[in-house]
Amino acid sequence: MITTKTQVKYLEWLSADEMYEESKKWLSELSFIKDEHLFFEDIIKTYTLQLINDKEFSETKEMVDVLNKSQKRNNLLIESVKTHKNDIKILLDGIDQPKEEENFKKEHKDLIILVSDFFKDYKAIKTHLFRMIKKIMKSEKLRLIDRH
């Protein structure tokens, strides 16, 4: 999966409050994705027999691996964003600490790129998974219709 680099040029205008709110939004979205990962695991378990047939096995194995990597990446991002959000006090404490504030803004910029790239990659994974499941559900439906 190829990702493009996200360019972040507006960071110098973000206030501490805006960065805090953005971090909260990321956490919310990442937590939702964590739940979606569990949903996809359940779907894969439900359709295991259909997914492991000869034609689909290699694609399914690859998709399960990709999903597992996505889960690990998501969990790491959640921890990074939580830490980042908690560290925002550097900018909110009223003490002038230019070096720490600059480091914080650089960290925020790096997180913008990491989170944006993760969301793009996850959307592609999700789309592919839905296509696989949709294909299986259609074939199951056709099989049931043919029996009658």
Domain range annotation of the chain: 13-143
Q: How confident is the model at residue 12 (pLDDT cuts 50, 70, 90)?
A: low
Task: Evaluate if residue 18 carries a pLDDT over 80.
Answer: yes
Q: What is the pTM of this model?
A: 0.80
Q: CA-to-CA distance for 92 and 89, rounded, in angstroms? A: 5
At 9 the pLDDT is 52
Average pLDDT over residues 91-98: 74
Alpha-carbon torsion (23, 25, 29, 35), positive or negative: positive
Report which of 126, 123, 121, 129 is spatially closest to residue 59, judged by C-alpha positions: 129
What is the distance, to the nearest Å, from the Cα of residue 146 to the centroid of all Cα atoms in its chain?
39
Report which of 6, 105, 121, 1 is spatially closest to residue 73, judged by C-alpha positions: 121
Average pLDDT over residues 121-130: 94
Report which of 3, 10, 38 is spatially closest to residue 109, judged by C-alpha positions: 10
At 1 the pLDDT is 46
At 73 the pLDDT is 97
Task: Evaluate if residue 115 carries a pLDDT over 90.
Answer: yes
Q: What is the dihedral of CA 55, 61, 66, 67, to 10 degrees?
A: 100
Q: What percent of the chain has pLDDT over 90?
A: 43
Q: How confident is the model at residue 65 (pLDDT cuts 50, 70, 90)?
A: very high
CB-based contacts of 5-8 (< 8 A; 24+ apart in sequence): 5/113, 6/112, 6/113, 6/116, 6/117, 8/109, 8/112, 8/113
What length does the chain have?
A: 148
At 100 the pLDDT is 77
At 68 the pLDDT is 94
